[in-house]
Amino acid sequence: MKKSVEANTYIFPLPSVVVGTYDNENKPNMMTASWTGIVNSNPTMVSVSLRKATYSYNNLIDKKAFTISIPSKKHILEMDYVGTKSGKREDKFKKTGLNPVKSGLVDAPYVSEFPVVLECKLIKYDELGLHTMFIGEVIDVKIDEEYLNENGMPNMSKIDPIAYAHGGREYYEIGAYLGRANFMWQISLLNDTITSDGKKEIVEFILNYYNKLDNGEPIEEFKNFFNWNDFEIMNGNNFIDSFEKYNRWYDDVNNTFFDRKHIIEKLKIDKVNQNEYKIEMDIYFRAKTWKKGQAKSRNIHVKGNIEWTLIRDKVTKDFKIKKYHIYENQV
C-alpha cells in the first residue's frame, strides 16, 4: 500500500551537472545543479533552474549564456565541493584544480576535465517561485573522443556520470547496461510478432535458458534443455559435445564471472520443418570478473551472434537444443 509523503520533488534519479558562467569581471564560475533537463528537441533546448541566492544567477542573466558540464564519477569530490561553496567568496576552479575553458560559441566557460559539455545560449527565463528556470538553446555539444562508442555516440559506461537522489541528498552510480530503448520489449512475450505462429513456446524456452544461466542455477536445471545424445556447442575453439564437457564449462563460467546478464537485442526464428527451428540472436553479455591479486573486479562486455538449432523431442514434445554456435566480438 502506498503512503502519502506530501508534494515534493521526488523524481529519481536526477542528473548531477556543473553549470559554468562568467561574472561581470569575466571571472569563470561553476556550480553544481540537479534541477536540469531536456525541454525541446528541435531546436535543441535544455533547462536549468537556479535560486536567486546563487552567484551564477545574475551571471547567467547578464551574459545570456551558460554551459553544462557532465562530470565522471572520478570527479565526484570536486563536483560535491563545487555544489557546496559559493563563487562569491572563492575561486572554485583554483581550489579544486579544475581548469576553465572559454567556449568559442557562447560567453561562458566549461570544465576541461569533464567529458561532456553542452554550450548554451539563453533563450528565456521564468521565475517559478523559489527557483527560476532558465531555458537555453544548445549551440554545440563537445565530448572527449575516448568517451564515444564505435558509432560516434556517447558511451554511458565510459562517461560514468553521477545520479542524485534528492530525498536523502545522496549520490549514486548509474549502474549497468540494461538494453536498448524501444527494442527491449520486442524481444519478449509482449511482442505478438515473434510469438505468433506457435513461437511463444520457443521464446519462453530461450528466455528461461538465459535466465537460469545468469542466475547460476544448479547444473541439473540444464539437463532438459539439450538433446544430449546428439548436440554440439561451438564457442571459438571450445567444442562441447557431452554433458560432462558442458558441466565443466558451466563450472568455469560460474567460477570466472559474476553479476552476469545476457541481453537479447535481436531475435529471429525460422521454421525449418515441422519439428526443427533455426534461431538467430544478437546478444550483449555483461559481467564482472576478478582474479587473485587484482585490486578490484573488471567489467566484461561482449557482443555476440548466436545460432541455435532447436528440435522438438518426438517423445516428450518438448524443445531441445541440438546446435549452439557462438560468434563473439569483444566491446
User: Which domains are seen in the chain, by residue range?
Assistant: 14-173 (2.30.110.10), 184-330 (3.10.450.50)
pTM of the model: 0.84
| 195 or 330: which leads in pLDDT | 195
152: left (phi over 0), alpha (psi -120 to 50) or beta: left
Q: Tens of pLDDT along 81-122?
A: 999 999 888 999 999 999 999 999 999 999 999 999 999 999
H or E segment and range at residue 47: strand 44-51
CA distance 23 to 151: 38
Three cell numbers at 282?
544478437
CA distance 148 to 116: 10
Residue 123 has pLDDT above 70, yes or no: yes
Q: Which residue has the cell 565526484?
A: 76
165, amino acid identity: A
Residue 310 has pLDDT above 60, yes or no: yes
* Mean pLDDT taken over the chain: 93
Q: Which residue has the cell 537479447?
A: 264
| Residue 122: strand pairing partners | 136
Sheet of 131-143, strand order? 28-33, 17-22, 65-70, 116-127, 131-143, 44-51, 36-41
178: left (phi over 0), alpha (psi -120 to 50) or beta: alpha
CA distance 65 to 237: 57
Q: Tens of pLDDT along 187-221?
A: 999 999 888 877 999 999 999 999 999 999 999 99
Three cell numbers at 112?
576541461
